[in-house]
Structure 1
């Protein structure tokens, strides 16, 4: 499996795609659709579609810049690629793109989508509100263009362009998005990766508070489709909110700010068939809580 996402994302779950493929294969019936209400980089979704484990993916993100990016690369791929080819990766350009990003939606999806992409590829850890790699004075070991391989990124977008008819992009609140897909019932597999309970406000543009986590739990626990969630390893998640469901703990490398091994929780919905061995990523087993 290859990573097709052009976006870098803190805590991105693209590495879980092989496990998700295994999960999909043992459901009855096997869902043909896959959805992410907090899509971000959508790395796992794109892998599953590219490898034909599903025939359609639903990418949802409430952030206008992220949603504009996905709309742009699926509906205006050629224009987006042209911008990658012609835009210089410099600090002056970074300031220009940041101004476009901070101005927000103005009717030009392509401009906002590209600005979001540019900052994601040139900022530390891909965090949209961070400073550029190498700093504003470009004195660091790594410089602003170190994660901006134009040809590699263009290749990914061309493949997404080929798959575009099998991708639906929405810009909804997660709860509204979950409502919008209920009619698919057991033909859609939902993977939710909500903002972390701890440090969520440092990593996410739309962080959750305690009420938000509770509201999401109330919604998804009554959903008619098969679903799984991943969260940071916090007692409020695996005991208070999802204590009646099957919860397991696993280790995952994180790259935001400082690289480290973090512990996360995976929660399985009540209708999900779970494999006997939970190899979440190669060589990493999840253990029941």
Structure 2
């Protein structure tokens, strides 16, 4: 079941087309990556979801119903541009922000203290925001984003400013939130995080959605049929049997054995490559190279820009 859906959303600012007929569908209790270069339209779509601005045409739905401003309390939004009141004490500020999302003061205090203890930040409760580092401030803002247990969480560059230890802590908490029933949209340029966390992605470029689907399927789509092979045998014979059907990208020989990086051409299969090598080489390892999300991102955007 889809928790969130955008249908044929268009948005123009003055003479700039920010979104062009963009549709996405986010399944309940999944993590959805909203990707694209700077200026592609991601933030505009996020602002539309949060009812900060409205689409010129198109519709957005939450749990099967067209969204209204009343749905804002069901959303938790961590913007890329963080914003906390620097002179206000952290505990009181967190309570205030939780109450804006509809929580009573008592529930806010109780839930916030659970989160502050989980993040080991209870000692910050009576400190002012300006006393904290950027990373510490972002921990607080993450807590205020999730404390009211919204159905839909939207994180815009959530790992920005975090050291590796705290980034891993945040990843762990995002996965737990999904396990506990949350649906998550997150926008990031950290493609490693996309591979680790996202079930599905949409890639937007110059206001247009150019890719959409399961993360693994999209990586599979952009593979180049390249294999890393370790073998023992005579390279001249290997080169001969591969012939014009295969492209040898790299070759190395050492006392430990020989390695090849091979790309197969003309619709050949993995088994065809193995069969070609078996008469002249002992295959020790055979691994297909699936592109990373970073490779996919670059290739998809370059292809879109050429078309």
Q: Which has the higher strand share?
A: 2
Structure 2-normalised TM-score? Answer: 0.30
Structure 1-normalised TM-score? Answer: 0.32
Look at both structures and tell me which one has the larger radius of gyration over its CA atoms. 2
